[in-house]
Amino acid sequence: MPTTTRRVHNFYAGPATMPAEAIARAQSELLDFAGTGMSVMEISHRAKPYMAIQAEAEALVRELLAVPSNYKVLFLQGGASMQFAMVPMNLLPPERHADYVVTGEFAKKALKEAKLLGKTRVAGTGEATNFDRLPSALDLSPDAAYAHITSNNTIFGTQYQAFPETGDVPLVADMSSDIMWRPTDVTRFGLIYAGAQKNLGPSGVTLVIVREDLLERAPENLPSMLAYRTHAKADSMYNTPPTFAIYMLRNVLDWVKGQGGLAEMEARNRRKAEAIYGVIDRHAGFYAGHAQVEDRSMMNVTFRLPGEELEKAFLAGAQEQGFVGLAGHRSVGGCRASIYNAMPLEGALALAEYMEAFARQHG
């Protein structure tokens, strides 16, 4: 990177910080990709140089998450929000129902779409306590078509540390804001989906990992673009894929691999989260964490200060020191530090230091 380039500590919830190396790699080959004399953006998706990129992106997903061979890896469009509808369209037959665990705004949206399309049940909800914890006991039914969870609640800052047991009922997870934060046993899931714009790359591509036996559940008359089996059969090339977004995803995952893979990501993510939660706990009278301790997210740290004036001063001071994106989501207010895989340890430590100093000065 040119030495004049300035990079802030970027705590946005998504789109979010990406590894500088992944972006610099794109910059270095933007006009001439691998000696083709073309930008990646200008290459036909059916041409070899691009097909190689998409194949590598898929291989990296498979390697990093140890995806078994009976699962398809798909690159789709429409964001995680499109998956809110595609999941029931494909997996929920009219005579059956799906169980939904409602742990935040996105879980509510997922349920809303499913309700439009079929029968649903709420197997647990955290609404009564403003989603500050995950429901402790779930009312899961053994005959559900699938059970849907949100592995990390981006807005409220809660996260499953252990996934619910659903027996033979396929577990479907929206992992948009924590996919690949640590090694994950894919075999526990029937389907995983994630918008790319937190841990995987830029917005514009959505990753879906789906067990092959579930592909055939979709009704015959489901429009082709909405059926997983269409994309599975066509290796995510049924229509023009978002080539540049997939290329960037490749760059990001290649970086993850080079850093030591998901075990290394987990170690770093835990250190980052501990540093920030550590300040919150040491100054418990000043900072109030939104999430109950046992359900705290390692990706999105949500907290309040005593009063809006102090919150404003905290955010203004943070901005001055090069910390960006710390305002909480408009539906909860307060502050939120998103510390995805690409947030360097130094960034989290610098924020912890700022929070410590701010509490000492104003507490």
CB of 206 to ligand PMP, least distance (A): 7
Q: Does 135 bind ligand PMP (CB under 6 A)?
A: no
- Which runs of consecutive H residues, i.e. helices, occur in the chain? 20-28, 48-65, 79-91, 105-117, 228-233, 243-259, 261-282, 308-320, 345-362
Which residue, 195 or 202, has its beta carbon nearer to ligand PMP? 195
Smaller CB separation from ligand PMP, 207 or 227: 207
Minimum gap (Å) between residue 83 Cβ and ligand PMP? 8
Residues with Cβ within 8 Å of residue 195, at least 6 apart in sequence: 14, 79, 80, 81, 176, 203, 206
Phi and psi at 98, nearest 5°, equal -120, 145
Binding to ligand PMP in span 166-195, by CB under 6 A: 174, 176-177, 195
Q: Is residue 325 a contact point for ligand PMP (CB under 6 A)? A: no
- Rule CB under 6 A: say whether 340 interacts with ligand PMP: no
Q: Which residue number, 79 or 289, has a Cβ lying nearer to ligand PMP?
A: 79
Which of 9, 10, 43, 79: binder of ligand PMP (CB under 6 A)?
79
| Contact track, ligand PMP, 101-120, x by CB under 6 A | -----x--------------
Residue 198 or 283: the one with the smaller Cβ distance to ligand PMP is 198
Q: How far apart are CA 343 and CA 52, in angstroms?
A: 28
Token digits of residue 72: 């398809």
What would the DSSP string read from start to end of 104-124? SHHHHHHHHHHHHHSEEEEEE
Contacts with ligand PMP, residue ranges (CB under 6 A): 14, 79-81, 106, 150, 154, 174, 176-177, 195
